Amino acid sequence: MLAFDMLGVLWVVSASGGTARRLTSDLYDVAQPDWSPDGSTIVFQSYRDGVFNLWAIRPDGSGITQLTKGPFDHREPRFSPDGRRIAYSSDEGGSYGIHVLDLATGSTGALAETAAEEYEPAWSPDGSRIAFVVADTRIDVVEVATGARTTAVTVPAGQVIHQPSFLPNGTDIAYHLLTVGRNELASTAGTLVTGEEVYPFQARFTADGRYHYSSAGKIRTRRLGSATAGTVGFTAALTATVAKYRKTTRVFDAPGTFPVIGVGSPAVSPDGTMVAFRALNDIYLMRVGEKPVPLFGDRWWKADPDFSPDGQQLAYVSDRTGTLNIWVRNLSSGVDRRLTYLTDSAALSVRWSPSGEEIAYSTRTAACGY
């Protein structure tokens, strides 16, 4: 039997395909399911509480149990081969690291945790090692007993690596490799799947060399050394309530006065007396209880205002130089100062640091997005 998540719901289906059976409600927002070795339990990550936590359920849908709690994320659970522990990733230490949950005692502990982001654990068949991804660029392997770690795979700039899993021989490691224009399932023993749109989810191997993976919206299956792929076909029933569409007539150049729509990116001043926001291709400043006043009145696009901690300056983004860069306006003098000089990407979502000495922001490029 196979377990998989689809549309935030946990499902099970026969390994030969057929009608999938739903196990969870919409509330659980399920991802990354994993079977216990004896087939009695499925563990998964859930966003039900507003953070990712680990839950377990029986294959018949009974006995759903929350395994982790707290303000931190607990993700990508993987049962150990003996079924006694679950490896997972968590940001409890400030960045993502590899942690292990002891199911008998409920105790947890970090096994691999550095300043780098470490995630997507995978047990070796004998349970002595765990492979995991480090910052999208390499796969490390840690010895469970000693904590000693080595690097098994590195990828050059321009490639992204995800979702390791050990091959049945316990030595080679499969992983998802993303290159611009190509997704494939690779391994330290050679390429396993290419020429398909392989999704970045963990491939699952059985002792006889068969493996399942996700590709082009389907569950696919192969044997090691074979170029022949099969598809696990299934049907799944969902109920959806669809609102009846009502066509809206929009007249953008009609005379008269109309209510403003499209107000966004509100920011409150530190003393709570003013609000800055984006509307009508301008940034407005509004004292509470008074009418908003536009700050610029030019044709350039502007967005994402944020007050400095002392309330004297307003950071924002504008494309007045051709691309979106960060600018700062002195609210007393009205003078604008440019902070960034990006040419091949766009700055967005600016936020001042509490000290006022730094500004954080996100960037977006045409090739890679955010």
Q: What is the pLDDT of residues 287-317, one digit of tens each?
A: 999 999 999 999 899 999 999 999 999 999 9
pLDDT at 367 (0 to 100):
46
pLDDT at 136 (0 to 100):
95
pLDDT band at 366 (very low <50, low <70, confident <90, very high): low
Q: Which residue has the higher pLDDT, 44 or 249?
A: 44
Confirm if 210 and 220 have CB atoms less than 8 A apart: no
Taking only the tens place, the pLDDT of each residue in 87-116 is 999 999 999 999 999 999 999 999 999 999
Q: What is the 3-state secondary structure (H, E, C) of 222-268?
A: EECCCCCCEEECEECCCCCCCCCCCCCCCCCCCCCCCCCCCCEEEEE
Mean of all residue pLDDT scores within the chain: 94
User: Within 10 Å of residue 291's Cβ, how many Cβ atoms?
Assistant: 7
The CATH superfamily of 2-235 is TolB, C-terminal domain (2.120.10.30)
Average pLDDT score over residue span 169-197: 94
Taking only the tens place, the pLDDT of each residue in 311-351 is 999 999 999 988 999 999 999 999 999 999 998 889 999 99
Domain layout of the chain by residue ranges: 2-235, 264-364
Q: Which CATH class is domain 264-364?
A: mainly beta
- C-alpha separations of 266 from 37, 276, 284, 305, 360 in Å: 51, 6, 10, 7, 17
As a whole number of angstroms, the distance between CA 174 and CA 190 comes to: 9
As a whole number of angstroms, the distance between CA 362 and CA 360 comes to: 7
Taking only the tens place, the pLDDT of each residue in 210-255 is 999 999 999 999 999 999 999 999 999 988 888 888 888 777 777 8
pLDDT at 137 (0 to 100):
96
pLDDT over 60 at 370, yes or no? no
pLDDT at 222 (0 to 100):
97
264-364 has the same fold as 2-235? yes
Average pLDDT score over residue span 193-197: 93
The end-to-end CA distance of the chain, in Å, is 38
pLDDT at 99 (0 to 100):
98
As a whole number of angstroms, the distance between CA 363 and CA 347 comes to: 5
pLDDT at 255 (0 to 100):
83
pLDDT band at 189 (very low <50, low <70, confident <90, very high): very high
pLDDT band at 277 (very low <50, low <70, confident <90, very high): very high
pLDDT over 70 at 121, yes or no? yes
pLDDT over 70 at 361, yes or no? yes
